[in-house]
Structure 1
Amino acid sequence: MIADWNDAYANGPHIAGAETYPPMWQQWAAAFRDELADRAELDIPYGEGARNRYDLFRPAGPATGLALFIHGGYWRAFDKSTWSHLARGAVDRGWAVAIPSYTLAPEARIAEITVEISRAIAAAAERVDGPVHLAGHSAGGHLVSRMLCRNVPLDAALRARIRKVVSISGLHDLRPLLNLEMNADLKLDEAEAAVESPVLQYPVPDARLTCWVGSGERPEFLRQNDLLATIWGGLGAETDSVHADGKHHFDVIEDLADATSDLTRSFTTRGFTKGEY
């Protein structure tokens, strides 16, 4: 039984040196943008909102397809500029990578953010041919998982192009968040929490999902990770659950910057951890 819901979903207090990660991410991201300046398009609009912008990083040759990374921050923090370096692994493997920002809570509800992400994917997919793969971290893991739900407004042709989703430390059941202080910003009620929880929705046909989490993460994140893989596996989706050895909530995403890592291979292949097209 969980006695302290806020602590159950708190990551920073349980990670040594947690305060050093955001400035380090910003530094790495800025360096990557400088390095790929001749193959980067920044601040491309996908909607009317001030944060409805995405960055697109292209490989040296023709792109295999489009990969998108959706950032976390409990739907309340960060933007695309913090995560540019996480495009490196997929770019080095021949993919064009889009990283969008989105309107944050409390300005937007989670259901509205879900719609924004669907629009960002549609806009980026107009610029890059081929399959579309999605990865997201934490709240971003929730958002990419939502793109595989039947009740998300995606064009049928675009939905058919989404061949693989990787939810990294994803939040797949939002009902526990009703107990958290942060819900003052999220403004979740029972109805929205149910509609926006992938574990309570049906996956689209031919869905392929990998749920990836650090083995050293908080118990609730481990549970949330395995829960979606288990439930959707029983509803016809092809699912996989991976616990990355020794990783915590803040460093579990770092392997996306490495083209040779299992995480990047999972992101850029239709198969699972070490699968290939």
Structure 2
Amino acid sequence: MDWDDAYANAAYIDGADAYPDRWASEGAAFRAATGARVDVSYGQGAREVYDLILPEGAPKGLFVFVHGGYWLRFDKSFWSAFARGARALGWAVAMPSYELAPNARISEITMQVAAAIEHAAGEIDGPIILAGHSAGGHLVARAVCQGVLPDAVADRIVRSVPISPVSDLRPMMKTSMNADLKLDEAECQAESPALLQPRSGIEVTVVVGAAERPVFLDQAEWLSTAWNCDRIIVGGKHHFDVIDALADPESDLCKAMFV
């Protein structure tokens, strides 16, 4: 099996090259229109910052969205427009960046995201909802496992929605990306949500597009089976547009998450 091809998304999506530029431009416009607080520091590193987007009135709670990119690329600025649904429904939205591989191991990124969630939770009262896409899906699943977040923060999390997550890291060792990820068996065992257990009392729903690469359908199934949680397969959606529903407050996903 060609593992690089198995985890290649852009090669199988028409017009894939146009997505990042559109995400970035829409994100910049949305931050400007909403008066987002940008680059709130949660750690010592230059990338240990998040943007905080507030609703019109008092927030109902905090939504944290964690971006993907195989832990190797992108930052928070590409995804701001995907806060539109949550903000319209009255939620404050935090979108963190984190250090990328090879400068950080995945275990270190896990703890950076946890620090971002904890810091944002200190800024916004109320319940917390997490969602993340791809590698971000891995990170928001990992965040609700034991030993990642302090109890005072974890007890406020009502829902985690890993979207197209990488839930078992072991196949990533077989890809050329591992030259930068530097995964070994021990880290895969410690950092794979599908091999761990979530905290009790947190509703987890795994979301994946029906038109995604087969390995992502597998990864979603592995997590939903291991955690005995709901799995939603979104018809007609591929790896890049499966998150579009987050930008639409009338979407089924937003209504299920925030209403």
Mind listing any 5+ residue stretches in structure 1 that lack a counterpart? 234-238, 270-277
Describe the superposition over 1:220-266 as per-residue Cα deviations: whole angstroms up to 9, x where unpaired. 00011111111111xxxxx2100111000001111111001112223
Amino acid paired to 1:176: P
The within-5 A match list for 1:203-214 is: 203-214=198-209
**Which residue of 1 is the match for residue 145 of structure 2?**
149
Aligned residue in 1 for 2:108: 112
Q: Aligned residue for 1:224?
A: 219
Aligned counterpart, 1:30 = 28
Distance in 2 (alpha carbons) for counterparts of 1:265 and 1:199: 27
SS at match of 1:6: helix
Which of the numbers 43, 59, 68 marks the counterpart of 2:64? 68
Q: Which residue of 2 aligns with 1:275?
A: none
1:6-29 deviation per Cα after TM superposition (whole angstroms, max 9, x unaligned): 111110000011101010111110
Q: Distance in 2 between matches of 1:183 and 1:170?
A: 17
**Aligned-pair CA distance for 1:32:** 0.5
- Aligned with residue 174 of structure 2, among 167, 179, 185: 179
Displacement of 1:147: 1.0
**Contact 1:167/1:211 (<8 A) preserved:** yes
What is the TM-score when the length of structure 2 is the normalising length? 0.98
Asked whether the equivalents of residues 164 and 209 of structure 1 are also in contact (C-alpha less than 8 Å), the reply is yes
Name the SS for the 1:18 alignment partner: coil
Counterpart in the other structure of 2:255: 265
Percent identical pairs in the alignment equals 54
Q: Matches of 2:157 and 2:13 in 1, distance apart?
A: 34
Q: What's the CA shift for 1:268? A: 2.1
Contact 1:165–1:267 (Cα < 8 Å) also in 2? no
How many residues align structurally? 259
The residue correspondences of 1:1-277 to structure 2 (distance < 5 A) are: 3-37=1-35, 40-152=36-148, 154-233=149-228, 239-269=229-259
TM (norm. structure 1) is 0.92
Distance in 1 (CA, whole Å) between partners of 2:221 and 2:255 is 20
Does the residue aligned with 1:81 lie in a helix, a strand or coil? helix
- Which portions of structure 1, spanning 4 or more consecutive aligned residues, are displaced by more than 3 angstroms? none
